[in-house]
Structure 1
């Protein structure tokens, strides 16, 4: 049975590796063959130099991603088959740790080890790759400060959650995973509520959007849409990166956050169109649907974990002397993706449909279809997004339609809708 478990895992793991590596290589070849030409629909909207830099950035990030994926594959296989995980569990037991203490120490050590092994890639990505293309603005001191804050935050939140997880496992019987699910769902909802006021300010500064034409335009648009907010804020994203974006956080009265880079790059109408897109997501309940879907996936994952923790062949296949919750969580986190990776294109498909719907709602709400199109082109230009993604790669990985797909969808809107939007 242990050989069957090992063989089954390797079959799925290698299938994932083959599919994802194949798609990444196909995308790189597709981009390389496209050259520096501006796609015809973008002629006059995008200059040749931006197209050249976009291609170079896409190729550099793609090659970096392949190297990082190869390293991650090697680390995963080494952790699973070298015997280091059973040895760590036995070492902790030999030091007198048991129960919740051993569970928390084992998983904390595993998380620390994997983060440490990924550290060189994080450094290279920030101070070599992003620096080369003019995006990085973080100093080494700020980068280190962010990492230390993240470590302390992970410990402050993660360790109590680990102890709580073991408590539900040990004290609530065979239905422990249902109790744990209810607890984790409550924690996630609480964190979404607390994030903008307690967590996000640990890393960035947030200032109310100043009075002026932009604030007046956004507040009026939100009022007309019946969209209640907890305020409009500008985040100092430019301290770390030249990338631009905007986001909402919260369920019922979300806080609207605009990157300062976005405010600097966009016109009033373009910023309004971007915000209207986000409002469209809320009006269509996309955020709530994604939360419900995420909770459903979490429930299914906990049910699978509850079954696996009682299945000795799994632990024998990877060298553990006996089943344990810490071993089951470690094995599921390291190897579980091999059994679910094929769901990625379905998730991407649903997400892209949501983006199309939010674009349509943006046109109806902001009444500026040309501004939305120009905002999308600017976002693509300023972020050097891929102008020539391989169709299979984008179908598998992209949560948003490509720029050309979104522009074509906007142009295909019925004429009456275009006229109402421009009124």
Structure 2
């Protein structure tokens, strides 16, 4: 009896598309009906900002809906049009075999996917983001970023694909364990290389100038016992008006502040944002998420090892014979519908980490009001959704909804004052 590969895949694929579409439409309807400013934000967010936030959320949501259906249609077309086996035969007909066929096949599919994504990137950057005053990227800079990205992907990705083929082909039945160990090593090397070798290809990083802000942030990091590789300002305003801050690195991270954040926040607000990020590191949230990501990679590799030699998988999508490149492609294209239900679990864990980092920030920076105003400012500057539907935010949001986060900050501040 032939296993029902296609019906099972289509059932999960349809379930994912239905759930994701329903949640997105529910959120769009909820936002479109919302009026005014949430009660907890009264006096903190003006009506004009709230109106622009709703308009930005609706525009992004409608754009995401178009992308979602295009991606779904493209996935089905690629899987059932015969394109994948035809590409395999065409490359083999040119004399490619073994590792060269494996790499050429995956590079060709990756290039095709990237080309189809370009119109969406152009529209989002130069129409949608520009409409709301966020885009500062010139066409020349946009093209340069893409060219640099392609060169970087080729420089890293092509040797990586050859290495993956070698592990899959020559390390025996436990190749998935050997490959996992190798990918962990690659991840560590990239985490080390990103801040000093990769990120500077796209942005300029300058030490935070001497002054009140630098002194406050250095004192805060010292009091928290947070070892780092320095405070840097990134020229984010070259591309966008969005504000943010982040750490980069695994053991002694760099502290990176967007220049838009430095320009718009008070010293206490910036210190609270930094204290929040330090809270993530002190609680080892970054390391836990990395561990979970690697565990997921290990599971995927194990599943792939079981499917590589399973003929029904290839027959279901038109392949004449099993191959490593076909196995990797089919798992990549077909895998998401089987694990999409994990999204709300990951989002819930992330939100819990955000609450923990906020509590740490209140203890170390001792400025809960500044943390609250910083979050309100960031949400306003980024036009984040003030009225998300509860189901949508529970499924997708990695950060708590602003009103819920502010309520938690006020409650923590009250507890700290009572001690």
Change (3 A) 1:418 1:2: farther
Provide the rounded CA distance (Å) in 1 between the counterparts of 2:3 and 2:27.
36
Provide the rounded CA distance (Å) in 2 between the counterparts of 1:78 and 1:383.
36
1:9 pairs with 2:9: yes
Provide the rounded CA distance (Å) in 2 between the counterparts of 1:73 and 1:117.
13
Q: Which residue of 2 aligns with 1:84?
A: 83
Instruction: Quote the offset at 1:418 in angstroms.
Output: 3.5
Provide the rounded CA distance (Å) in 1 between the counterparts of 2:414 and 2:388.
30
1:30 pairs with 2:50: no
Q: Which residue of 2 aligns with 1:293?
A: 292
Given that 1:136 and 1:240 are in contact with CA atoms closer than 8 Å, whether structure 2 keeps it comes out as: yes
Q: Which residue of 1 aligns with 2:408?
A: 409
Change (3 A) 1:416 1:73: closer
Given that 1:136 and 1:242 are in contact with CA atoms closer than 8 Å, whether structure 2 keeps it comes out as: yes
SS at match of 1:156: helix
Q: Which residue of 2 aligns with 1:187?
A: 186
After superposition, give the CA deviation of every residue in 1:302-361 in whole Å (9 maximum; x if it has no partner): 001111111110000000111111001111111100100000000001000000000000
Q: Which residue of 2 aligns with 1:123?
A: 122
SS at match of 1:174: coil
After superposition, give the CA deviation of every residue in 1:74-99 in whole Å (9 maximum; x if it has no partner): 11000000000000001111111111
Provide the rounded CA distance (Å) in 2 between the counterparts of 1:141 and 1:221.
40
1:238 pairs with 2:237: yes
Instruction: Quote the offset at 1:291 in angstroms.
Output: 0.8
After superposition, give the CA deviation of every residue in 1:133-174 in whole Å (9 maximum; x if it has no partner): 000000000000000000000000000010000001111011
Q: Which residue of 2 aligns with 1:178?
A: 177
Map 1:31-180 onto structure 2 (within 5 A): 31-35=31-35, 37-180=36-179
Instruction: Quote the offset at 1:250 in angstroms.
Output: 1.1
Given that 2:368 and 2:413 are in contact with CA atoms closer than 8 Å, whether structure 1 keeps it comes out as: no
SS at match of 1:15: helix
Given that 1:136 and 1:241 are in contact with CA atoms closer than 8 Å, whether structure 2 keeps it comes out as: yes
Given that 1:2 and 1:316 are in contact with CA atoms closer than 8 Å, whether structure 2 keeps it comes out as: no
SS at match of 1:233: strand
Provide the rounded CA distance (Å) in 1 between the counterparts of 2:45 and 2:86.
56
Q: TM-score, normalised by structure 2?
A: 0.99
Q: Which residue of 2 aligns with 1:366?
A: 365
Q: Which residue of 2 aligns with 1:209?
A: 208
Change (3 A) 1:91 1:296: same
After superposition, give the CA deviation of every residue in 1:22-55 in whole Å (9 maximum; x if it has no partner): 00000000000113x0111111111100000000
SS at match of 2:232: strand
SS at match of 2:335: helix
Which structure 1 residue ranges, 5 or more long, are not aligned?
none
SS at match of 2:321: coil
Q: Which residue of 2 aligns with 1:341?
A: 340
Instruction: Quote the offset at 1:8 in angstroms.
Output: 0.2
Provide the rounded CA distance (Å) in 1 between the counterparts of 2:287 and 2:3.
43
Change (3 A) 1:289 1:191: same
Provide the rounded CA distance (Å) in 2 between the counterparts of 1:76 and 1:170.
27
Detail structure 1 runs of 4+ shifted over 2 Å in the superposition: none
Which structure 2 residue ranges, 5 or more long, are not aligned?
none
Given that 1:192 and 1:250 are in contact with CA atoms closer than 8 Å, whether structure 2 keeps it comes out as: yes
Instruction: Quote the offset at 1:3 in angstroms.
Output: 6.5
Q: TM-score, normalised by structure 1?
A: 0.98
SS at match of 1:340: helix
| C-alpha RMSD over aligned residues | 1.0
Instruction: Quote the offset at 1:419 in angstroms.
Output: 6.2
SS at match of 2:199: helix
Provide the rounded CA distance (Å) in 2 between the counterparts of 1:3 and 1:77.
19
| Residue correspondences, number | 419
Provide the rounded CA distance (Å) in 2 between the counterparts of 1:380 and 1:86.
47
Instruction: Quote the offset at 1:416 in angstroms.
Output: 4.5
Given that 2:3 and 2:312 are in contact with CA atoms closer than 8 Å, whether structure 1 keeps it comes out as: no
Given that 1:2 and 1:317 are in contact with CA atoms closer than 8 Å, whether structure 2 keeps it comes out as: no
Instruction: Quote the offset at 1:59 in angstroms.
Output: 0.2
Instruction: Quote the offset at 1:413 in angstroms.
Output: 1.5
Given that 2:235 and 2:259 are in contact with CA atoms closer than 8 Å, whether structure 1 keeps it comes out as: yes
Q: Which residue of 2 aligns with 1:328?
A: 327
SS at match of 1:386: coil
Given that 2:242 and 2:382 are in contact with CA atoms closer than 8 Å, whether structure 1 keeps it comes out as: yes
Provide the rounded CA distance (Å) in 1 between the counterparts of 2:366 and 2:23.
38
Instruction: Quote the offset at 1:414 in angstroms.
Output: 5.8
Provide the rounded CA distance (Å) in 1 between the counterparts of 2:183 and 2:415.
47
Given that 2:272 and 2:361 are in contact with CA atoms closer than 8 Å, whether structure 1 keeps it comes out as: yes
SS at match of 1:247: strand
Change (3 A) 1:123 1:2: farther
After superposition, give the CA deviation of every residue in 1:248-298 in whole Å (9 maximum; x if it has no partner): 011211100000001111100000000000000000010110111111000
